Amino acid sequence: MEADPKEARKSTKGGWIFLLAGLIGALIVGWIIFPVLLYSEKSQPLTFSHASHGPESDAGLDCEECHFFYKDGTFSGIPKIKKCIECHEDPESPLTESPEEVKLFTEYVGPEKEIPWLIYSRQPDCVYFPHIAHVKMAEIECSVCHGDFATRKTSPPYKVNRLTGYSIDIWGRNIAGYKRNTWDNMKMDDCAECHTKKGKEDNNACFVCHK
Partner 1 sequence: MKKEDTTKGNRYGMVIDLDKCTGCGVCLIACASENNIPVMYDESDKTRNITWLQIYMVTNGKEFPETEVIYIPRPCMQCDNPPCVPVCPATATDKDPTSGIISQIYTRCIGCRYCMAACPYHARVFNWFDPWFPEGMDRYLSPEVSPRMRGVVEKCSFCHHRLMRAKAKANVEGRRDLKEDEYIPACVEACPTKAITFGDLNNPKHKISELIKSPHAFRLLERLNTEPKVYYISTKNWVRRMADNYLSGEFKDRS
Instruction: Please report, as ranges, the residues that interact with partner 1 according to CB under 8 A.
Output: 69, 71-74, 124-126, 128, 130, 132-133, 136-137, 202, 205-208, 210-211
d(CA 75, CA 78): 9
**Closest to partner 1 by CB, 17 or 126:** 126
CB of 132 to partner 1, least distance (A): 5
Length of the chain: 211
* List of residues 6+ apart from 163 with CB closer than 8 A: 38
CB of 117 to partner 1, least distance (A): 17
Task: Tell me the longest C-alpha to C-alpha distance in the chain.
Answer: 96
CB of 73 to partner 1, least distance (A): 3
CB of 200 to partner 1, least distance (A): 11
* List of residues 6+ apart from 12 with CB closer than 8 A: none
Nearest Cα residue to 156 out of 165, 169, 144 = 169
d(CA 98, CA 55): 20
**Closest to partner 1 by CB, 44 or 161:** 161
**Closest to partner 1 by CB, 18 or 207:** 207
**Closest to partner 1 by CB, 42 or 136:** 136
Nearest Cα residue to 170 out of 204, 145, 134 = 145
| 16 burial level (CB within 10 Å; 0-12, 13-18, 19+) | exposed
**Closest to partner 1 by CB, 3 or 206:** 206
Residues pairing with 12 in the sheet: none
CB of 143 to partner 1, least distance (A): 21
